[in-house]
Amino acid sequence: MKSRTDIRNIAIIAHVDHGKTTLVDQLLKQAGTFRSNEYVEERAMDSNDLERERGITILAKNTAIQYKDTKINILDTPGHADFGGEVERIMRMVDGVLLVVDAYEGCMPQTRFVLKKALEQNLTPIVVVNKIDRDFARPKEVVDEVIDLFIELDASEEQLEFPVIYASAINGTASLNPEKQEENMQPLYDAIIEHIPAPVDNREEPLQFQVALLDYNDYVGRIGIGRVFRGTMKVGQQVALMKLDGSIKQFRVTKIFGFFGLKRQEIQEAMAGDLVAVSGMEDINVGETVCPVDHQEALPVLRIDEPTLQMTFAVNNSPFAGREGKYVTARKIEERLRAQLQTDVSLRVENTDSPDAWIVSGRGELHLSILIENMRREGYELQVSKPEVIVKEIDGVRCEPIERVQIDVPEEYTGAVMESLGARKGELLDMINNGTGQVRLIFNVPARGLIGYTTEFLTLTRGYGIINHSFDSYQPIAPGQVGGRRQGVLVSMETGKATTYGIMQVEDRGTIFVEPGTEIYEGMIVGEHTRENDLTVNITKVKHATNVRSATKDQTTVIKKPRIMTLEESLEYLNDDEYCEVTPQSIRLRKKILDKNERERLAKKKKYAEMNK
C-alpha cells in the first residue's frame, strides 16, 4: 500500500518530570518553527497557568514541525496517571511513540502506565534517555531497565528492536552514543523519520475521521480534534456524524484547522494521515466517527478509563458564604461542571437528592483537585466532601481500585514506610537496593489506603522520600478499616478573629492551622488535636487589660508557625463529617454540622445505633 512519506504522527510519553515538554520545546526551536525575533516561553506547550506552576502537563497538546520535507505531528501527553484517559485516546491518533526516560531515575510507575497503553496499540517505540548531563546519570542500566519493562509488558519482537537516543533536552543536544553528545537534536529527527511508520495514503477512499480530543471556543463552539484515517475532508462538505448511541446526524464542515508549530491555521482540506481540528458540529463527542453521507462506516469506539474516585461538590453554606466568590449559586456551579464535561471525558457529574449538591467522579485526587483549583481561580465558591473510592461489583463480588505504588527512600526509612503501608493493607511486591543508600519499594495498596497518606509519608521520611502511584486493577475489598486520619481536630466554638493570645492558650493541645487575624466561625477547624478525639476551643479570646503591671511585661510573646495547608493537603485531610470550603481567596476546613451541641447529639445517636446492632 502507498504511504504518505511527507508526514509522521508521534506521541511523546513519559513519567511526570522526565522532560517531555522541554524536549518538545527544543524540537520546535531547532526545526525553525519560530521566527528568529519571536519570544518563546520555556515549556511553551504548557499553556494553562496550573500547568506552568506545577510543571506538569494536564491536557494533551498538538503541535507540528517541518523537518526537511517531512511534517512531524507531535502530541505531548500528560505523564500523570490521573489523566490516563487523554493518553489512551492519543495512542489511537499516532503511529509511533517517543518514550522519554530520565537517565538517573529510570523507569517509574507512570512510565509503565503510558508504555503499556502504547504497546497495546502496536505502536513503534523510540526510547529517549533524557537528562544525560545529570550527575550520577546511569544510561546503560536505564536502557536495561527499559528492556526489562518492555519484556514484562509483552512487547512484540519488532517493538523490542527499538532505537535508543541519548539526549539532554535542556541543552538541546542528542546522540546515539551515551559518552558524547552532538551539538543539536538531529539524531532524534533522523530516528523519527527512519523508524516511525508513515501513514497509509488512502485519500481516494471514502472519508473516516475520528474524534480523540475536544476543545471549545466561544466563536465556533465545540471543536473535535482527531485524525483522518481514510479519505479526504473539505470545508463546506456535507458529512454524517456516527454518534456513540447509534444515531446519525448530518452537518456541514464549517472550518478545518491544521497544526503548525503552536498555532492552528485554517486549511481547506485534510487527507488520510492528517491530524486536524474540525468545527461545525454542536454535539460531537470523543470516539465518534465522521464519514460521507452515502458511505456510513464507523471506526471502533475509543475506550475511556472509568473514574475511580468521587466526591460531593456542594453550594457553600458556611457563615462566610458569598463574601469572596463571584459565582456562588447552584445554577452557576452546575453550569460550570456541565461545561467541564464538554472537554473532559473522564469526568462524571451526577445529581443528588439535594438541588445544591452533585457527585463528581474522576480519575484520582489530582484530577479532581485541578478542577476545583481552576474553579476557584475563575471566581467560584463551593464546598467539597472527603474523596471516596468508587466500589464496583464484578461477578457478584464487591471490588475496589488497587494502586501500584513505587517508593524511593533512603535506607534508614524503609522500616517505617513498610510498617505504615502494612497498616494500610499494602502488599510488598518488590524491594530493590542498588547499593547507593537508596531503596526502591514496590507495593500494591488499596486506593482508599492512599487517601491522606502523602503527608504521613513525608513526615516519616523527613521529606527525603519520593512516592508515585498509578491505577493497577480492581480487586475484592479487603475487610476492615484502611487508612484514614488518626488525630482529632480543634474546632472553633466562637465566630470572630483569631488572636495571638487565644492561639497561645491552646497551642499545647495540638497544631494550629490559622494565623492571628484570620476570620473564623463556629464549627470551623482551626487545628489538629494531639489526641484522637475532637476538641472545641476558643482562639478568639482577647486578653483583658488590668491595672496590674507584670515584672516580665517586656518579653514579647512568640507563637509557633501555623501549618497552612494546600488544596490537595486539605482534601486528603478531611474526615467523613467534614467539608473543605473553597473560595477564590481562602481554603477552610469545617465540620458539616457547625453547632457543637448538635454534633454531640448526633454522635451519641450514632453510637447508640451501633451498640444496638
- Which positions make up the binding site for GTP? 17-22, 130-133
The sign of the CA dihedral 54, 361, 348, 394 is positive
Backbone φ/ψ region at 469: left (φ over 0), alpha (ψ -120 to 50), beta = beta
Q: Which DSSP string do the residues of 309-333 spell out, in sequence order?
A: EEEEEEE--STTTTSS-SB-SHHHH
Angle formed by the axes of helices 84-91 and 109-120, nearest 10°: 30
Residues in CB range of 531: below 8 A, 6 or more apart: 487, 488
DSSP 306: P
Residue 211, classified by CB atoms within 10 Å of its CB into exposed (0-12), middle (13-18) or buried (19+), is buried
Q: How far from 476 is each of 361, 444, 483, CA to CA, in Å?
A: 21, 13, 17
One-letter identity of residue 487: Q
- Location of C-alpha cell 464538554: 342
Phi/psi at 415 (5° precision): -60, -50
- Scanning 478-542, the segments in alpha helix (DSSP H) are 500-506
Residue 246, classified by CB atoms within 10 Å of its CB into exposed (0-12), middle (13-18) or buried (19+), is exposed
Q: Of 485, 482, 449, whose CA–CA distance to 467 is shortest?
A: 449
Name the binding residues. 17-22, 130-133
Grid cell, residue 60, equals 494533551
